[in-house]
Amino acid sequence: MKCLYCGYKEDKVVDSRAILDESAVRRRRQCLKCSRRFTTYEYIEEVSLMVVKKDGGRQAFDRKKILSGIIKACEKRPVSLNKMEEIVGQIERAIQKKSIREVSSSTIGELIMEKLKTTDDVAYVRFASVYRQFKDVSQFMEELKNIINTGKGKQRVKSKQNRF
């Protein structure tokens, strides 16, 4: 593995552990030249999965794109990066279990919203507002009402009212 800092091609593995339900390995490495540490991740290479976009175009499945969207939705929210990576892993495994070679971008979007809805309401609404392309405030308010009417949303509203 090439060192990110000095480019030297030899390192040693300092720590290694399974992550994401043991479907990946996280390795802490130390460069043998500059002694700086860096992290690498190893994933099982799966059969290539293609994503069918709304316009009919196809592109290779990229877990980094999903993680990037989730990170943006969870910005300044109490959701750890580990939790976000766990969500991406769950989505990826759900798609792989279907044993299909192509998946629609809308299926991926719905899976992301489903996971965010149970993780953080604000992150869910942020993602939904971009994904569903709300045209006006009324669509946004309708989605907020749906969250409030679920048990989770009602609990939060009641608990805030009881504080006063």
Please state, rounded to an integer, the average pLDDT across all residues of the chain.
Answer: 83
Indicate whether 4 belongs to any domain. no
Is residue 81 very low, low, confident or very high in pLDDT (cuts 50, 70, 90)? very high
Domain assignment present for residue 164? The answer is no
3 lies in a domain? no
Residues 103 and 71 in one domain: yes
pLDDT score at 45: 67
Prediction pTM value:
0.59
pLDDT score at 68 = 94
Q: Write out the residue range of the structural domain in which residue 126 sits.
A: 47-159
Token pair, residue 159, equals 């608990």
Rounded to 10 degrees, the C-alpha dihedral 154/157/129/115 comes to -50
Q: Of 34 and 95, which is predicted with more confidence? A: 34
* Same domain as 90, residue 146: yes
Same domain for 59 and 104?
Answer: yes
68 with 13, same domain: the answer is no
Question: 92-139 pLDDT, tens per residue?
Answer: 888 888 878 899 998 999 999 899 989 988 898 888 878 777 666 777
Q: Indicate if 17 and 74 belong to the same structural domain.
A: no
Predicted pLDDT of residue 47:
62
In the block, residue with structure tokens 């994933």: 43
Quick check: is 61 in a domain?
A: yes
Percent of the chain clearing pLDDT 70 (strictly above): 85
CA angle 46, 17, 68 (to 5 degrees): 55
Q: Tens of pLDDT along 41-61? A: 888 766 678 899 989 999 999
Tell whether 33 is covered by a domain. yes
Number of independent structural domains in the chain: 2
Residues 28 and 101 in one domain: no
| End-to-end Cα separation, the chain, in angstroms | 57
Structural domain contains residue 75? yes
